[in-house]
């Protein structure tokens, strides 16, 4: 069975999330997006876990279901912040669990190290090896996946982590790490450049903080497996049944290029190195992006493709394409939703529109400009102005940035500082 999965999301009990995240809303918009297996997110939070128990039915498959039969897998994200070798470490991990009983044991363990009720993504001062060993003692069916592995502040291989490999971070417990999550600012091809990552499967999930279609499922992993927890974990651990990932273009991510958001400066790695990674406006250090970090650790050339590795598709969410084609900045505007709903009613899901609908079929429901963007998106031909230092990248229409977006940027962005 083909499963399009998004296993890294958040509830409304995490910081900076939509307060309207509920199980019914998650199910509704996952179906609209074309995702047919969701992670629950935030299973350690006492209010959310009770909501999960009230809305989802558990059976021996390890997959929970709503009354209408939509499947969920118990998942959460845990932030580990600690000191190792006199350096501060900040690592986020996605954790999957087979049932409510195991979740209860994980939560009780974490409560011995701090609170779980203040945030859906709680923070603990537990070292990654200790954390992993303790969870494996609870159940060997628990899966730990280093989240958004390249992001500067909380990725295992990010520029601020202090780790250059999974083994450095997890030490002897790295034997229990089987997969890595790409994050918005990287894709499998960038990860293939490191031979040290060959032993790990590559997965991709959205880290969504809302249920809207430009967030949920924006990154996903596609499996061809039975809809059971054991089959899912086997695929994550061995790669058998893992077909491909759906990614946004890495340039779209918030940390692809180097930069300094406060000064509105973004740079390629080569440009940043010319300034010694210092912001040319204020003199403070730049936030080193994912592209720079990958380049530093890579032992293979760009565009390297290993044999027998699952492929990937790079897609910009449909809402972005619609808003761009209409010249509207807000993704949630009435006009954007009108077009989105018309297309979705015709084709069944966003992924069907982005991946399968023919040009002639699209012409019946969309204007010429939008049809062109959808087809370009499918081929990876839309230019992206790269994101940097927490600022999302932007899709460029006809190679130009919308004038309204240029005007909204700090004045310093209009100066030719990328010549450094």
At 399, is the pLDDT very low, low, confident or very high (cuts 50, 70, 90)?
A: low
At 417, is the pLDDT very low, low, confident or very high (cuts 50, 70, 90)?
A: very low
The model's pLDDT over 188-218, given as tens digits with 9 standing for 90+, comes to 999 999 999 999 999 999 999 999 999 999 9
What mean pLDDT, rounded, does the chain reach? 93
The arithmetic mean of pLDDT across residues 322-345, rounded, is: 93
pLDDT at 405: 35
Query: Is the model's pLDDT at 366 over the cut of 80?
Result: yes
Tell me the CA end-to-end span of the chain in Å, nearest whole number.
Answer: 52
Neighbours of 387 (CB within 10 A): 26
Query: Is the model's pLDDT at 415 over the cut of 50?
Result: no
Give the Cα separation of 295 and 193 in Å (integer): 8
At 311, is the pLDDT very low, low, confident or very high (cuts 50, 70, 90)?
A: very high
Query: Is the model's pLDDT at 404 over the cut of 90?
Result: no
The arithmetic mean of pLDDT across residues 277-299, rounded, is: 97
pLDDT at 119: 98
pLDDT at 388: 97
The model's pLDDT over 21-76, given as tens digits with 9 standing for 90+, comes to 999 999 999 999 999 999 999 999 999 999 999 999 999 999 999 999 999 999 99
Query: Is the model's pLDDT at 368 over the cut of 90?
Result: yes
Tell me the whole-structure pTM to 2 decimals: 0.93
| Residue bearing the bigger pLDDT, 417 or 339 | 339
Q: Could you tell me if residue 111 is left (phi over 0), alpha (psi between -120 and 50 degrees) or otherwise beta?
A: alpha
For the ranges 26-35, 297-306, 320-329, the lowest mean pLDDT is seen at: 320-329
For the ranges 83-87, 142-146, 309-313, the lowest mean pLDDT is seen at: 83-87
The arithmetic mean of pLDDT across residues 94-105, rounded, is: 98
Query: Is the model's pLDDT at 412 over the cut of 60?
Result: no
Name all domains of the chain by residue range, CATH numbers in brackets.
2-252 (3.20.20.140), 317-379 (no CATH)
Task: Report whether 277 contacts 285 (CB < 8 A).
Answer: yes
Q: What percent of the chain clears pLDDT 70, i.e. is strictly above it?
A: 94
Task: Report whether 92 contacts 41 (CB < 8 A).
Answer: no
- The pair of structure tokens assigned to 344 is 């979705």
Query: Is the model's pLDDT at 334 over the cut of 60?
Result: yes
């Amino acid at each position: 069975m083909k499963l399009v999965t998004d296993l890294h999301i958040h509830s409304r009990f995490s910081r900076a999330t939509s307060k309207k995240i509920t199980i019914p809303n998650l199910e509704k918009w996952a179906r609209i997006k074309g995702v047919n297996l969701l992670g629950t997110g935030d299973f350690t939070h006492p209010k959310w876990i009770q909501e999960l128990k009230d809305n989802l039915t558990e059976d021996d498959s390890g997959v929970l279901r709503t009354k209408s039969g939509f499947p969920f897998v118990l998942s959460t994200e845990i932030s580990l912040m600690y000191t190792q070798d006199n350096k501060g470490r900040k690592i986020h991990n996605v954790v999957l669990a087979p049932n409510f009983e195991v979740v209860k044991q994980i939560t009780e363990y974490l409560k011995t190290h701090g609170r779980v009720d203040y945030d859906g993504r709680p923070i603990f001062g537990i070292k990654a090896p200790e954390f992993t060993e303790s969870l494996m003692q609870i159940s060997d069916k628990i899966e730990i996946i280093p989240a958004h592995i390249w992001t500067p502040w909380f990725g295992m291989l990010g520029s601020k982590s202090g780790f250059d490999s999974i083994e450095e971070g997890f030490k002897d417990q790295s034997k229990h790490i089987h997969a890595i999550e790409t994050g918005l600012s990287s894709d499998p091809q960038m990860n293939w450049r490191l031979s040290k990552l060959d032993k790990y499967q590559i997965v991709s999930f959205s880290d969504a903080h809302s249920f809207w279609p430009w967030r949920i499922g924006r990154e996903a992993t596609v499996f061809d497996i039975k809809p059971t927890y054991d089959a899912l974990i086997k695929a994550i651990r061995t790669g058998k049944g893992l077909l491909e990932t759906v990614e946004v273009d890495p340039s779209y991510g918030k940390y692809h290029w180097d930069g300094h958001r406060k000064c509105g400066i973004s740079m390629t790695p080569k440009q940043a190195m010319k300034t010694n990674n210092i912001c040319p406006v204020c003199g403070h250090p730049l936030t080193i992006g994912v592209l720079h970090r990958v380049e530093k650790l890579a032992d293979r050339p760009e565009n390297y493709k290993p044999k027998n590795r699952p492929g990937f598709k790079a897609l910009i969410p449909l809402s972005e394409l619609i808003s761009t084609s209409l010249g509207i900045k807000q993704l949630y505007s009435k006009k954007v939703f009108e077009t989105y709903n018309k297309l979705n009613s015709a084709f069944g899901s966003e992924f069907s529109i982005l991946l399968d609908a023919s040009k002639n079929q699209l012409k019946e429901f969309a204007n010429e400009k939008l049809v062109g963007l959808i087809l370009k998106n499918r081929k990876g031909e839309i230019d992206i102005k790269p994101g940097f230092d927490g600022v999302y990248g932007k899709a460029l229409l006809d190679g130009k940035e919308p004038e309204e977006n240029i005007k909204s940027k700090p004045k310093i962005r209009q100066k030719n500082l990328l010549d450094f």
